[in-house]
Amino acid sequence: MDTQGTDDTADARDDEAISRFVERFAAQLTEAGMQRMASRVFARLLASDSGAMTSAELGGALRISPAAVSGAISYLTQVGMVSREREPGSRRDRYVLHNELWYETFTQRDQVLALFEKTLRDGAAGLGPDSPAGTRVAETAAFFAFLQDEMRGLMDRWRKHRAGLNLP
C-alpha cells in the first residue's frame, strides 16, 4: 500500500459507501472479538487509499474523540495491525497499515501457537502422560503443532497465489 501522504476524503469516491463499508466490516470484526472502536479505526484505515491517516483524520472520518482514536490505536499497535510513523516535516503521527497486513497478522499468531504448544507439552509432562488430564493437554499440544504446520503451508500458498493476482 502507498503510505506516502494522507487520505484524501475529497476524492471521487462515495463517502456514504465508504462509511457503510467501514461500519459493516467493523461490526463483523467486533462480532469476531475485536474491540469495537479498534474495529472501526482499522476498517477506516483499510478503506483509505493511502493506508495511513492521522489521529485528526480518523477522528473526523469516524466522528470520534481523540481519546477514542488513541485507545483504538494503542490496541491496534499492540496486536501488530498498525504502526505509528512521524509525518514528514511535521510533529504529527500517522497510523499505517502494514503492507502485508493479513500475512503478518497470521505469522504473528504462529508465534503464539508455538508458545502455547510448548507450555502445553510441558504441562502434559507434568500432569503425567497416562493421566486423563495429561492426555487431554498432550492432545491440545498436538493440535497446536498441527495448526502451526498447516499455517506455514497456508502462508506459502498464499504468497504464491498473491503473486499471480497481478495486484499493484
pLDDT tens-digit readout, 51-105:
999 999 999 999 999 999 999 999 999 888 899 998 778 888 999 987 677 766 7
| pLDDT of 3 strictly over 50 | no
Extended strands (E) in the chain: 52-54, 82-86, 93-97
Greatest Cα-to-Cα distance within the chain, rounded to the nearest angstrom: 66
Give the list of residues 6+ apart from residue 32 with CB closer than 8 angstroms, or none.
none
82 forms bridges with which residues in the sheet? Answer: 97
Alpha helices in 65-129 (DSSP H): 66-78, 101-127
